[in-house]
Amino acid sequence: MPSTKITTSATFQIKTSSGYIDALSVPAAGTSWTLQLFDGPDQNNADISVYGGTTAGTMTTGLVIFAPLYFSKGIKVVTSGTAGELDIQWH
């Protein structure tokens, strides 16, 4: 499975078709670093919030998911704040 390491605050379109995020790992949380996950864009260039929505979630070390997250249109990751390290395993 592919893995993406994110160490900056930006928007990342890591997949443009359906897929899953299988694992998240935050070895370094940064300072006030936040995370949003979106499914999209769809045919109208819109994104569907999977995690974070309008209020981004704060990243902490030990952040985990217990089951794969499904994305029907694409996997978009948005981070902001002072970056640490986020590792995402997806397929």
Q: Tell me the whole-structure pTM to 2 decimals.
A: 0.93
pLDDT of residue 66: 87
Q: Which CATH architecture has domain 3-90?
A: Sandwich (2.60)
pLDDT of residue 76: 97
- Read off the pLDDT of residues 26-77 as tens digits, 9 standing for 90 and up: 999 999 999 999 999 988 999 999 998 888 999 999 888 889 999 999 999 9
List all residues 6 or more positions away from 31 whose beta carbon is below 8 Å from its beta carbon: 81, 82, 84
DSSP assignment, residue 1? -
Q: What residues does 37 pair with on adjacent strands?
A: 51, 77
Residue 54: predicted pLDDT: 85
**Which pLDDT band holds residue 20 (cuts at 50, 70, 90)?**
very high
